[in-house]
Amino acid sequence: MAELVEVAESGSRSISHYMRVLGPGILGAAAAIGGSHLVASTQAGAIYGWQLVGLIVLVNLLKYPFFQIGARYTMAADETLIQGYDRIGRGYLYLFTALNIFASVVSTAGVAMLCGSILGLFIGDSLSVTQLSMIVLAGSLVFLITGHYKTLDRVTKWIIVGLAIATVTAVFIALNQGGVATPDFVAPSPWNLAAVGFLVALMGWMPAPIELSSWNSVWLRQKKKALGDELDYKGALVDFNVGYITSTLLAIAFVALGALVLHGSGESLATSGIAFAHQLVNVYASVMGDWSRWLIALIAFLCMFSTTVTVLDGYSRALSECFVQLGQQKGSGPTGHGARYTYPLMVVMGLVGALIIMFFKGALLAMLEFAMISAFISALVFAWLNYRLMKLPVVPERYRLGGAMVALSWAGILFFAGFNLLFGYWYLFVK
């Protein structure tokens, strides 16, 4: 799609240049490669084999325009999506803020519980998943409040590289060994009403909730302030595309692992946290060898810790921008005070997230399923808002969506609307 990267400047760019501008898109990938990949994608492969690969590719494609608008609008209008929502109408900003308040604490609890479960691999049974999750939340808050966001920006790309190498290696080894399912094994079909709940949960965080586009917008504007003219429109899109494509490919890789190692084995995924973490590491160890067990556990923990930190940082920064914007005149541009409430909001999110974890206790998969379904229901709202942004007068004509992207956007909006109706029917009459 040529219109995705229309830029006035031309000429070659060095790899070192793109390594410097990479950041917001990679942080977005770090947030995405969490519950949706380690849990939902693996579960999809374990239960249904290869049947859902096409759906995962489709959902990533249909969400692409709405995530990309986070980078496109910010570079075109020199403001975040949040100021853009306010330009559409103050009521939309209130709606966005309310939905994010809910999503922030649910998502924080979900990823912290998964991270705590993986931490339990190193600590053993001396602490419960609830206690381990509290340690993760406290550590994440200390990490952010003491100013280590820059460290996160630098280190995250290497954590993602490590996870990608380990996962792709495991997939190739498993492909060489062949799947464990016997030739006469009959896989259940996901193409029936009974499976709608699982499909909606899978798509909700695939590759991530659409509101994460606002995080990319906030991070990107901060990166632009730091790099100045070194970060241009083309560089911002390269950063976004690298992160988005990486998260999409890894989602498929985790489906492959589930399909090759667990599908047809007679083993079902554990619902408790630490048991699931052991199971996840065993998936890698069964194909790569027992020597890899602790290495994979460490990579998985670092991946989920970076996800937890990124979720706390992203939601708190976006909500801080919302509250600051709500205190300004409607439709006003950036104030320079968007981060005013970031740290207090981080603490509140951590405390409320801790309360949610105490309520769900060891029910990791139930917690994540609830968060994923909520994300899919709200996806329609965020998709429509982002599409509307690109028609605002502050967006120069050359940055607006081309014909292919407009068609893809409407296909996504109609898809989300249709599946929401189907989910409503399933919830009321089939569940």
First to last CA, the chain: 41
Average pLDDT over residues 116-143: 90
Exposed, middle or buried: residue 355 (CB in 10 Å: 0-12, 13-18, 19+)? exposed
Average pLDDT over residues 354-373: 83
In angstroms, how far is CA 343 from the centroid of its own chain? 22
Are 313 and 144 in contact by the 8 Å Cβ rule? The answer is yes
CATH code of the domain containing 386: 1.20.1740.10
Does residue 286 carry a pLDDT above 90?
A: no
**Greater confidence, 331 or 307?**
307
> Does pTM top 0.75 for this prediction?
yes
Average pLDDT over residues 149-158: 71
**Greater confidence, 151 or 137?**
137
Hey, is 331 helix, strand or coil?
Answer: coil
Angle at 71 between CA 139 and CA 402, to 5 degrees: 150
Tell me the C-alpha distance between 410 and 180, whole Å: 41
Hey, is 282 helix, strand or coil?
Answer: helix
Q: Is residue 6 part of a domain?
A: no
To the nearest whole number, what is the mean pLDDT of the chain?
85
Q: Is residue 84 part of a domain?
A: yes
Sign of CA dihedral 110, 213, 313, 236: positive
Q: Is residue 364 part of a domain?
A: yes
Note down the domain range covering 62.
19-430
Q: Is residue 55 part of a domain?
A: yes
Q: Is residue 230 part of a domain?
A: yes
Mean pLDDT lowest among 37-41, 269-273, 369-373, 391-395: 269-273
Q: What was the pLDDT predicted at 39?
A: 82
Q: Is residue 10 part of a domain?
A: no
Does residue 338 carry a pLDDT above 70?
A: no
Q: What are the angstrom distances between the C-alpha of 284 and each of 41, 145, 206, 279, 342?
A: 15, 34, 22, 9, 38
> In the chain, pLDDT over 70 holds for what percent of residues?
89
> In the chain, pLDDT over 90 holds for what percent of residues?
46
Closest C-alpha to 33, from 151, 116, 130, 115: 115
Are 240 and 83 in contact by the 8 Å Cβ rule? The answer is no
pLDDT band at 178 (very low <50, low <70, confident <90, very high): confident
Sign of CA dihedral 282, 283, 284, 285: positive
Q: Is residue 41 part of a domain?
A: yes
Are 77 and 392 in contact by the 8 Å Cβ rule? The answer is yes
Q: What was the pLDDT predicted at 182?
A: 84
Q: Is residue 95 part of a domain?
A: yes
Is the peptide bond between 207 and the residue preceding it cis, with omega within 30 degrees of 0?
yes
Tokens of 296: 């994979």
Number of domains the chain is built from? 1
